[in-house]
Amino acid sequence: MSGQLTTFVAEAIRMAVPYMACGLGAVLTERSGVVNIGLEGALGVSALCAAVGAIATGSGLVGLGAGVSGGAFYCLLHGVLVVRARVDAMVSGIALTMAAYGGGRVALRLLYGSASNSPKVPGLPGLESTSAVLRVVSEPALLVFGVAAGMLVLVLERTRLGLRLRASGDNEAAAEAAGVEVGATRLWASVLSGVACGLGGVHMVFDQRQYDAGMTGGRGFLALAAAILGRHRPGATLLACGGFAALEAAQIAWQDSLKLAPELVRLLPFVATMGLLMRGRSGMALARGRLWR
Amino acid sequence: MSEAVSRPSLPPGVRRGVWSVVVVLLLFDGLAFLAGEAPRVALLKALEGTWGTMYGLGQVIYKATPLLLTGLGFRVALRAGLFNIGVEGQLLLGSFAAGVVASRLPSSTPWPLGVLMSLGAAGVGGAGLGAVAGAMKVKFGAHEVIVTLLLNRIVEALVPYVLRRGVGVTGYRSGDAISGALLPRLEQLSEVFRGSAASLATVLALVVCLLVLRWERSSVTGREFGWVGLGAGVCEAQGIPGGRRLWQAMALSGGRAGLGASATVLGYKGYYELGLGAGAGFGGIAVAMLGQGSAVGLVGAALLLGTLQQAGLVLNASLPREAMDVLTAAVLVAASAGRGRR
Amino acid sequence: MEARGVTCRFGDKVAVHKASVRLFPGQIHALVGENGAGKSTLLKAMAGAVVPTEGEVWIRGQRLDPATPAEAIRRGVGMVYQHFALVPSFTGMENLMLGVEPVGLLGWLRPSVTRARAEEIAAMTRLRVHLDVPAASLSVGEQQRLEILRVLVRGASLLLLDEPTAVLTPGEAQGLYELLRRIAKQGAAVAVVTHHLEDVSRYADQVTVLRGGEQVFQGAVSEVTTAELSLRALGEIPAVKRPTAVGGEAPELLVVVGLQAEGLDVKELRVRRGEMVGIAGVDGNGQEALVEALAGLRPARGSQRLGGCELAGAPPSARRAAGLEVVHGDRHRFALLAGATIHDNLVLGDLGPDEEAKVVRRMAVSGLIPADPSLQAGTLSGGNQQKLVMARALDRAPRMLVAAYPTRGIDAAAAAQIQQRLVAAAEGGAGVLLISGDWSELRTIAHRLLVMRKGRVVAELPPDVREQELGRVMLEGS
């Protein structure tokens, strides 16, 4: 493989994790009827928790646990606000994103005395290899995410919780009439979605061996768009996430040979999504569930 | 709401305001404690730096002005049933446009004309961006939330690029505005505001606020906006152009948010620089949710959030000012509890 | 099963007052009454879906406590709702499992368990449903059978059905009652809410008549005639007469030719001045598409001329200007803003300088009680909402009125008033196109009936056609 192509493949796989994590998180929460536009914040919070946990104990495993818990807690908080406190899902999503961003900066200042990034984070050991692709693929956080993603999809499609989750989002009244506790189901869905996003945050931190305040870079928002483009089906959504990752990777691999300014290249996924949204009424998929018509 | 009926002591709007202030105070104490400050000391310091001096008060008013305008902007879309998260990007584009126009006008442009042209640019910039989102919604059925989130990111990346490519004097700011495009500071009118950043923009914002609320209640189009929010399909079937009202609401929303530039670019800095007014868009969402439909409520909410921002600056040495973002988020949630759509 | 002295209040409105019903295994018990008489509420109270203000529900000698749907289901009560409680995107199997999922380790679903049970029941009752396609793709009758299969799979021995025949043709209704009879023979008790009084005499064993929430009759079906039931259930209703007949020389007003849209393909449709044309058909056979196309809300090809003025492609406001007024069947989607005031709703779409005068006039015409235009429209009953919509439409003095299901879901007195308005409009020279699911309404006031099936007009029948014949044409086409 040529150098650029290797870089492209390695980067695409690496970049895909946060996208896919949030995409899967979006599918899980929205299929249950709770729209969460704050997944960007979930990514950031779990990254911060992973960094803090790993730095404080020196253990990557603790970091992993802390990151996943942080993401799950964040999404559960959103679920509680929306389901129990009847806060508009959009309001809660945007407020929690703001709080996550501000909270991240505050934590960096108070804990590490830095305005923008954490000290080096001890991650989990991967394979030492000369092949960039192999190094990326053997990153333990990526492997954990891969296994968890598979399990979450199975939960959604093959278990009681998944069945009830889908029923709650698709026809709340029917689910209630069938004896499903819709509120509780939605809270569980929020937790699952937080776990998915959490693994994305953990991967970003372990992969870069540090946390910085702006590291999520809008990927959580794009993942929402990916879920819409994938019509909230896990397979199609993950594919769309892969597409975003490939765009981002291509920009890194071929940035020297491109004539475009890097800012403009970075816009590509956003502009491409706008174009795709023009295709049809797919945007309305975000409207599923009674919480957001 | 049923509680409000059985206990007629306080109208719901007032209760919501009181509740929000309580949440702010509690969270503030918690954050101050985490930062190693005695909560009481921090609170006193924050109060002194905001409402304790005329200078501080001026700062609060300065911070509140764009919040009031973005809040009005968010509100018009919300009335029409749209959730315009794009106010942040619309304010940014409006500010940028105002900065560029104000600096590129011939320096002989007389005073009110320069201001009006710059403000017009700000309004058109914001409105254009809003209209794009509205058109995407009406024409393609793309959800306005996702579209405005994307547009925010696009504008945030494009503006620095355009500045760097020669539109600005440096990579991060526009040229200085000509004197005919500046809004006079309040300190020029009265000695008591010496040194503060508050300007005539505040008066402008108040006038806009009153006019807008009046227009919403009494004009045909203004009332139709509200009806479209209650049921676009019903309106369409009854002969009201629902689709057109939807994108008009988004454009108006963006236009009002863009006017927020009046306080920052034209009233204070005299140029646009990256990051100027950032956060006022999201803050505007909180202002709209907290202030509801009354002028008093909107102004009060804007002042509350303006106070928070200024307090963040005052305390920045010990408590990072981003902590105020957390407080703003808490206000937003507290103001909206129990009002989710069903 | 027994309901003892059940009273249900919503706010200060009494829906059911001191009703007592006993259901026995092997019997079909009919609950009859007009709309709003409280029969659905009583049924829901028995299913635990509504908590009675007073009174109790007993099942097999034990009080239903707590009074929740979950507890009622546990005790063997199975309710089939008027609006089916199926998840549309789920397959039949998934719908059967939901809420009572057979699971293995870690919540893993085991559909085979449910399938075996479903097949066993299907064999006993000859109840056949396709279980492997999404519920949304099933016909209405099939969806209903799926619902019944579902409550049986859950082990229900007390079967409660709310207006099960409202969506069925006479033939399908007969099949349903035969199925219910077989289920009852297996030892189940069945209660059916209906307003088809003929069905009661034909298929039920016991009958309870409710009127305005009061229980006015109870006893064996063999003790009463259909006419007696009708008098007890409905009382005397003013008869509405057909508008005077129009001759062939009356000018044609609405001429629709080759109208094609999604779900619609109408070759020709003509309405004369002063003529009342009825559209009959099983729900979902293109009536909605026809109304939306005529209203300018659904893109359509073909010509739609109103008094010589081509309306194809015109938006709703232009159609109104040409004299066309549409009263939509789905009020909340197309006609009424529940969140706005009555005042605003009365001038919705023609807000102008004479706003106050319009509100006063339309308020008076509508006969709304209470007559307070500052109330929210959503607080009105369905009948009053319909009166509001009707008053607004007629005050605009249309030349041509399209009314879709104008009396659906409202009480008999209000329905009669609205039918009277339609007749008056036709006698005043307007053309009226009446789309309705109520056959007796169509047969009473329309001059001629057009039958729609699969988006086409398949037959034209005189209003005195036999009911069985009308049902057959609706199902089979011609």
pLDDT band at C465 (very low <50, low <70, confident <90, very high): confident
Region C287-316 average pLDDT: 91
pLDDT in tens, C122-147: 888 888 888 999 998 887 788 888 99
pLDDT in tens, B157-175: 899 888 888 777 777 888 8
pLDDT score, position A282 = 43
pLDDT in tens, A169-197: 998 888 988 888 999 999 999 999 999 99
List the single residue in A with minimal CA-CA distance to C96: A178
Q: B38: how many CB neighbours lie within 10 A of its CB?
A: 12
The one-letter code for the residue type at A60 is G
Peptide bond into C370 cis (omega under 30): yes
Residues whose CB is less than 8 angstroms from the CB of residue C353 and which lie 6 or more positions away in sequence, other chains included? none
Task: Evaluate if residue C91 carries a pLDDT over 90.
Answer: yes
pLDDT score, position A292 = 29
Region A252-264 average pLDDT: 75
Coil, helix or strand for C435?
Answer: strand
* Three-state helix/strand/coil letters over C58-96: EECCEECCCCCHHHHHHCCEEEECCCCCCCCCCEHHHHH
pLDDT in tens, B245-265: 999 999 999 999 999 888 888
Asked if residues C164 and C156 have their Cβ atoms less than 8 Å apart, the reply is no
pLDDT score, position A280 = 55
CB pairs under 8 A between B and C: 56
Poorest-confidence range of A12-16, A118-122, C347-351, C406-410?
Answer: C406-410
pLDDT in tens, A113-157: 888 889 998 888 877 777 888 888 888 999 999 999 999 999 999
Residues whose CB is less than 8 angstroms from the CB of residue A36 and which lie 6 or more positions away in sequence, other chains included? A25, A26, A29, A30, A42, A75, A78, A89, A93, A190, A193
The minimal CB distance from C98 to the residues A155, A161, A180 is found for A180
Query: Quick check: B328 and A221 CB within 8 A?
Result: no
DSSP structure class, residue B268: I
pLDDT band at B67 (very low <50, low <70, confident <90, very high): very high
Rounded Cα distance, C419 and C432, in Å: 11
Region A49-70 average pLDDT: 95
Q: Which strands, in side-by-side order, build the sheet including C2-10?
A: C62-63, C54-59, C2-10, C13-22, C214-220, C206-211, C28-32, C189-194, C158-162, C77-80
- What are the backbone angles phi and psi of residue A140, rounded to the nearest 5°? -55, -35
Task: Evaluate if residue A287 carries a pLDDT over 70.
Answer: no
Residue with the larger pLDDT of the pair C320 and B111:
C320
* Three-state helix/strand/coil letters over B84-109: CCCHHHHHHHHHHHHHHHHHHCCCCC
Region C407-412 average pLDDT: 75
Query: Quick check: B143 and A37 CB within 8 A?
Result: no
pLDDT band at B2 (very low <50, low <70, confident <90, very high): very low
Query: Quick check: C326 and B237 CB within 8 A?
Result: yes
Residues whose CB is less than 8 angstroms from the CB of residue B211 and which lie 6 or more positions away in sequence, other chains included? none
Location of structure tokens 């806009």: B208
Poorest-confidence range of A85-94, B137-146, C81-90, C423-432?
Answer: C81-90
Task: Evaluate if residue B8 carries a pLDDT over 50.
Answer: no
Q: B88: how many CB neighbours lie within 10 A of its CB?
A: 28
Task: Evaluate if residue A209 carries a pLDDT over 60.
Answer: yes
Rounded Cα distance, B143 and B151, in Å: 12
Residue B21 C-alpha, separation from nearest chain C C-alpha, in angstroms: 30
Rounded Cα distance, A92 and A80, in Å: 10
DSSP structure class, residue A172: H
Rounded Cα distance, B249 and B270, in Å: 30
Pairing of strands C158-162, C189-194: parallel
Task: Evaluate if residue B221 carries a pLDDT over 70.
Answer: yes
Region B124-152 average pLDDT: 91
Whether chain A has a CB inside 8 Å of the CB on C100: the answer is: yes
Q: Which one, of B95, B18, B23, B142, lies nearest residue B260 by Cα?
A: B95
Rounded Cα distance, A64 and A73, in Å: 14
Over the Cα atoms of chain C, what is R_g?
24
CB pairs under 8 A between A and B: 156
Query: Which H/E stretch holds residue C125?
Result: helix C111-125
Q: Which one, of C36, C53, C37, lies nearest residue C45 by Cα?
A: C53
Residues of chain B with pLDDT > 70: what percent?
A: 96
Select, from the ranges A226-240, B42-56, C64-78, C186-200, the one with the highest average predicted confidence (pLDDT): A226-240
Could you give the angle at the alpha carbon of C307 between the alpha carbons of C303 and C313, nearest 5°?
A: 35
**Residues of chain A contacting C90 with CB distance shorter than 8 Å:** 166-167, 170
Pairing of strands C431-435, C189-194: unpaired
pLDDT band at B4 (very low <50, low <70, confident <90, very high): very low
Query: Quick check: B154 and A37 CB within 8 A?
Result: no
pLDDT band at A158 (very low <50, low <70, confident <90, very high): very high
Region C53-71 average pLDDT: 85
Query: Quick check: C297 and B237 CB within 8 A?
Result: yes
pLDDT band at C36 (very low <50, low <70, confident <90, very high): low
Average pLDDT, chain A: 88
pLDDT score, position B7 = 42
pLDDT score, position C235 = 66
Region B307-319 average pLDDT: 85
**Residues of chain A contacting B83 with CB distance shorter than 8 Å:** 90
pLDDT score, position A35 = 92
Average pLDDT, chain B: 86
pLDDT score, position C64 = 84
A37 Rama sector, left if φ>0, alpha if ψ -120 to 50, beta otherwise: alpha
pLDDT score, position C11 = 66
pLDDT in tens, C145-198: 899 899 889 888 899 998 887 777 667 788 889 999 999 998 899 999 887 777
* Three-state helix/strand/coil letters over A224-260: HHHHHHCCCCHHHHHHHHHHHHHHHHHHHHCCCCCCC
pLDDT in tens, A16-54: 999 999 999 999 999 999 999 999 999 999 999 999 999
**Residues of chain B contacting A103 with CB distance shorter than 8 Å:** 322, 325-326
Which residues are registered as beta bridge partners of C161?
A: C80, C192
pLDDT score, position B58 = 87
The minimal CB distance from B234 to the residues C320, C326, C336 is found for C336
Whole-Å CA distances, B267 to B99, B172, B181, B213, B300: 11, 19, 9, 24, 21
The minimal CB distance from B227 to the residues C326, C332, C340 is found for C340
Whole-Å CA distances, A13 to A63, A207, A243, C342: 22, 12, 11, 59
Asked if residues C78 and C160 have their Cβ atoms less than 8 Å apart, the reply is yes
Q: A62: how many CB neighbours lie within 10 A of its CB?
A: 17
Task: Evaluate if residue A55 carries a pLDDT over 70.
Answer: yes
The minimal CB distance from C99 to the residues A158, A173, A179 is found for A179
* Contacts with B, A 162-221, CB within 8 Å: 218, 221
Task: Evaluate if residue B151 carries a pLDDT over 90.
Answer: yes
pLDDT score, position B342 = 39
Query: Quick check: A91 and B332 CB within 8 A?
Result: yes
Residues whose CB is less than 8 angstroms from the CB of residue A90 and which lie 6 or more positions away in sequence, other chains included? A35, A37, A292, B83, B85, B145
Could you give the angle at the alpha carbon of B241 between the alpha carbons of B235 and B243, nearest 5°?
A: 95
The minimal CB distance from B223 to the residues C295, C336, C351 is found for C351
Region B214-234 average pLDDT: 91
In angstroms, how far is the first alpha carbon of chain C from the final one?
A: 45
Asked if residues C401 and C361 have their Cβ atoms less than 8 Å apart, the reply is no
Coil, helix or strand for B135?
Answer: helix
pLDDT score, position C12 = 65
**Residues of chain B contacting C351 with CB distance shorter than 8 Å:** 220, 223-224
The minimal CB distance from A160 to the residues C69, C73, C107 is found for C107
Whether chain A has a CB inside 8 Å of the CB on C70: the answer is: yes
Q: What is the per-residue DSSP string for A23-78? A: HHHHHHHHHTT---TTHHHHHHHHHHHHHHHHHHHS-HHHHHHHHHHHHHHHHHHH
Query: Quick check: B161 and A221 CB within 8 A?
Result: no
**Residues of chain A contacting C103 with CB distance shorter than 8 Å:** 159-160
The minimal CB distance from B35 to the residues A110, A218, A264 is found for A110
Region B276-297 average pLDDT: 87
The one-letter code for the residue type at C429 is G
**Residues of chain A contacting C84 with CB distance shorter than 8 Å:** 174
pLDDT band at C234 (very low <50, low <70, confident <90, very high): low
Task: Evaluate if residue B1 carries a pLDDT over 60.
Answer: no
Residue C274 C-alpha, separation from nearest chain A C-alpha, in angstroms: 42
Predicted complex ipTM: 0.86
